[in-house]
């Protein structure tokens, strides 16, 4: 009972600090300090060691590299080339150019690693083009807002790196495990667009004239630079030629070359990309450091182990635990960003998940999918903010347009929970065992 009162008190204190507008990292560290006082341990000594261990990690070196790669690509013509290269191949499918939203976000997400960057970059090109051709605005907005979340599911992903570091699992395994779920999400999104198009033929423009195979191939030549970059970044990790950190360095070099080739690399864009990457990387690392200190203090109080024993006592079973965690993360997603969701909960949730017998790599993909859902959940859905800014519509309108795709994400969570090995863990085990 005493530990329960302590846990509730610390939770209330954290909510108060966050509600007052204190930085997330500072809030986490302060709550950890209070917990340390309760245990009677030297808080300053543990604070210093936790901050050093959390930020002085070679594994974490991949994070700023992937962030910088995304910042560089955000300033290139890649999204325009993706749209033009993919459009000829979907002209005869119901929904036509709406499928380009899904494909372009999936491909751009695989090299940017950022949900907001993927959503903003592809939307900047796709929305005016779709509107000009007479496509329904709601389905266009909904598909772009949700497809932008593919940037954190399809590797390399900043969120995946954060989870892997926090949970102490292999970044490469988590990256590989995200491939099939990412493909499933893209297929479900496209399947919904096909069904919508068949039910709403009047909300689509007339069929465009056919293109010859040569014309399609010529247009798709614009995809070659992007394909080379994807192979360089992801392929080297999958075949074991490079670690995640080394692959990230290759990605930065490749993105700089791509920017130079497309004529978008200037001293101004280079400095701006470096500034943006530095700001975001420092923010994430500061949050991770605060969370690491809170994790140490929580372990010393005995709260995580007590919670694990409590879950066992409740006899929820594996699916019961997953159902509860899904509700908790969806609620957290209404107020927190993805990085904060992961670092705030890892110290408490990981012992519960391990006690229930779940694979931590699988759980990483599970959390990433829930973070995707959070990205389009009001009031703090980052992708909703992006689309609201780009369209001038109210957030409620954007959220309503995203609802069908939101349900497709929920369906993906159900599928990976029912078939965890087939859809998530078998692929990294097979590739890395070779």
Q: What is the distance between the alpha carbons of residues 2 and 414, in angstroms, rounded to a whole number?
A: 36
Q: What is the distance between the alpha carbons of residues 115 and 153, in angstroms, rounded to a whole number?
A: 9
What pLDDT does 116 receive?
67
Mean pLDDT value of segment 118-122: 72
Closest CA to 66 of 354, 360, 273, 222: 273
Mean pLDDT value of segment 266-294: 81
Mean pLDDT value of segment 29-38: 84
Confidence of residue 334 (pLDDT cuts 50, 70, 90): low
Closest CA to 80 of 114, 121, 111: 121
What pLDDT does 416 receive?
92
What pLDDT does 379 receive?
61
> Percent of the chain having pLDDT more than 90?
7
Q: What is the pLDDT of residues 172-183, one digit of tens each?
A: 899 889 889 989
Close Cβ partners of 53 (under 8 Å, ≥ 6 residues apart)? 292
Which has more pLDDT, 433 or 393? 393
What pLDDT does 381 receive?
66
Closest CA to 124 of 185, 77, 88: 77
What pLDDT does 365 receive?
92
Q: How many C-beta atoms lie closer than 10 Å to residue 111's C-beta? A: 28
What pLDDT does 188 receive?
94
Mean pLDDT value of segment 316-328: 80
Q: What is the pLDDT of residues 408-426, one digit of tens each?
A: 999 999 999 989 888 998 8
- Is the pLDDT reported for residue 245 higher than 80? no
What pLDDT does 408 receive?
92
> Percent of the chain having pLDDT more than 70?
88
∠ Cα 215 217 220 (to 5°): 110
349 close to 343: Cβ distance less than 8 angstroms:
no
**Is there a cis peptide before residue 130, judged by omega within 30 degrees of 0?**
no
Per-chain mean pLDDT for the chain: 79
Which of 88-92, 191-195, 233-237 has the highest mean predicted lDDT (pLDDT)? Answer: 191-195
Q: What is the distance between the alpha carbons of residues 404 and 410, in angstroms, rounded to a whole number?
A: 10
Confidence of residue 191 (pLDDT cuts 50, 70, 90): very high
What pLDDT does 346 receive?
77
- Is the pLDDT reported for residue 1 higher than 60? no
Confidence of residue 88 (pLDDT cuts 50, 70, 90): confident
60 close to 286: Cβ distance less than 8 angstroms:
no
CA of 215: how far to CAs of 84, 87, 136, 212, 218, in Å?
Answer: 12, 12, 27, 5, 5
Closest CA to 114 of 22, 5, 251: 251
What pLDDT does 412 receive?
93
SS3 for the chain is: CHHHHHHHHHHHHHHHHHHCCCCHHHHHHHHHHHHHHHHCCCHHHHHHHHHHHHHCCCHHHHHHHHHHHHHHHHCCCHHHHHHHHHHHHHCCCCCCCHHHHHHHHHHHHHHHCCHHHHHHHHHHHHHHHHHHHCCCHHHHHHHHHHHHHHHHCCCCCHHHHHHHHHHCCCHHHHHHHCHHHHHHHHHHHHHHHHHHHHHCHHHCCCCCCCCCHHHHHHHHHHHHHHHHHHHHHHHHHHCCCCCHHHHHHHHHHHHHHHHHHCCCCCHHHHHHHHHHHHHHHHHHHHHHHHHHHHHHHHHHHCHHHHHHHHHHHHCCHHHHHHHHHHHHHHHHCCCCCHHHHHHHHHHHHHHHHHHCCCCHHHHHHHHHHHHHHHHCCCCCCHHHHHHHHHHCCCHHHHHHHHHHHHHHHHHHHHHHHHCHHHHHHHHHHHHHCC
Mean pLDDT value of segment 287-292: 76
- Is the pLDDT reported for residue 98 higher than 80? yes
């Amino acid at each position: 009972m005493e530990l329960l009162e302590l846990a509730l008190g610390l939770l209330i204190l954290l909510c108060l600090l966050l509600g007052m507008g204190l930085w997330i990292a500072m809030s986490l560290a302060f709550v950890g300090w209070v917990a340390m006082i309760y245990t009677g341990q030297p808080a300053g000594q543990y604070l210093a060691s936790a901050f050093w261990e959390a930020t002085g990690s070679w594994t974490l070196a991949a994070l700023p590299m992937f962030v910088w790669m995304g910042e560089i690509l955000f300033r290139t013509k890649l999204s325009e080339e993706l749209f033009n290269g993919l459009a000829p191949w979907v002209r005869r499918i119901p929904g036509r150019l709406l499928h380009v939203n899904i494909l372009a976000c999936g491909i751009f997400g695989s090299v940017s690693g950022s949900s907001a960057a993927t959503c903003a970059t592809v939307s900047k090109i796709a929305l005016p083009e779709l509107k000009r051709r007479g496509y329904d605005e709601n389905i266009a907005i909904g598909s772009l807002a949700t497809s932008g979340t593919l940037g954190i599911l399809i590797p390399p992903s900043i969120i995946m790196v954060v989870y892997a570091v926090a949970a102490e699992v292999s970044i490469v395994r988590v990256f590989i495990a995200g491939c099939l779920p990412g493909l499933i999400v893209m297929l479900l999104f496209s399947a919904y667009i096909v069904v919508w198009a068949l039910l709403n033929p009047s909300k689509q423009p007339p069929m465009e004239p056919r293109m010859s195979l040569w014309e399609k191939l010529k247009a798709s030549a614009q995809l070659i630079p992007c394909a080379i970059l994807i192979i360089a970044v992801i392929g080297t990790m999958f075949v074991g030629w490079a670690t995640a950190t080394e692959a990230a360095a290759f990605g930065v070099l490749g993105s700089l070359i791509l920017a130079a080739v497309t004529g978008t690399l200037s001293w101004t864009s280079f400095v701006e990309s470096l500034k943006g990457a530095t700001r975001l990387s420092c923010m994430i690392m500061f949050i991770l450091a605060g969370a690491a200190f809170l994790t140490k203090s929580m372990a010393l109080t005995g709260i995580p182990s007590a919670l694990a024993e409590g879950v066992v006592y409740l006899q929820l079973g594996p699916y019961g635990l997953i159902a509860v965690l899904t509700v908790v993360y969806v609620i957290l997603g209404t107020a927190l960003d993805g990085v904060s969701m992961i670092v705030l909960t890892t110290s408490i949730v990981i012992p519960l998940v391990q006690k229930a017998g779940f694979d931590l790599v699988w759980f990483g993909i599970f959390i990433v999918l829930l973070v995707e859902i959070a990205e389009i959940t009001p009031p703090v859905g980052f992708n909703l903010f992006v689309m609201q800014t780009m369209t001038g519509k109210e957030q409620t309108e954007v959220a309503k347009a995203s609802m069908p795709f939101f349900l497709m994400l929920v369906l993906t969570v159900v599928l990976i929970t029912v078939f965890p090995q087939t859809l998530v863990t078998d692929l990294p085990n097979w590739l890395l065992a070779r």
